Structure 1
Amino acid sequence: MNEIKLQRQIEDMKKEIEATGAIAEKRAIELRADIDRLKLEVIALKEFIKGELPEFEKRFPEILKETVKRIPPE
């Protein structure tokens, strides 16, 4: 009797772990897609700004450096 109960608990835990893994994998895929979209948006913004302000490309490394100092990553 106890062995059957333990076997059921093990099977239930296995299903729960598999479900959790599937949820985590789905979320990881969503996060990768979000990151890719943000990268494209940053590239588009930089291209636009370079077209409007030619000095931007020269100043960007310093702007980025100062921003990193001022705003710590989360």
Structure 2
Amino acid sequence: MEVKIGVQHAPREIVLESGQTAEEVERAVSEALAGKSQLLSLVDDHGRKVLVPADRLAYVEIGEPSVRKVGFSAL
């Protein structure tokens, strides 16, 4: 699923494709904003970790789960 993260004082947002569910991403964001964690930590589809300081979060947009198509089809 696509996750967009806005960071305060940064001109661009962070966009990543994550294999985590919407509930897992939402839980991580909630914990970071509640002060349980100082960093928002997410993992993308390639296994890379994205760490954002919780006090710098402007917004987090959680997209729809992406459906991967396999095979060929007629256009």
TM over 0.5: no
TM-score range, shorter chain: under 0.3
* Structure ranking higher in helix proportion: 1
Higher strand share: 2
Greater RCO (Cα-Cα under 8 Å, separation 6 or more) = 2
| TM value normalised by structure 1 | 0.26
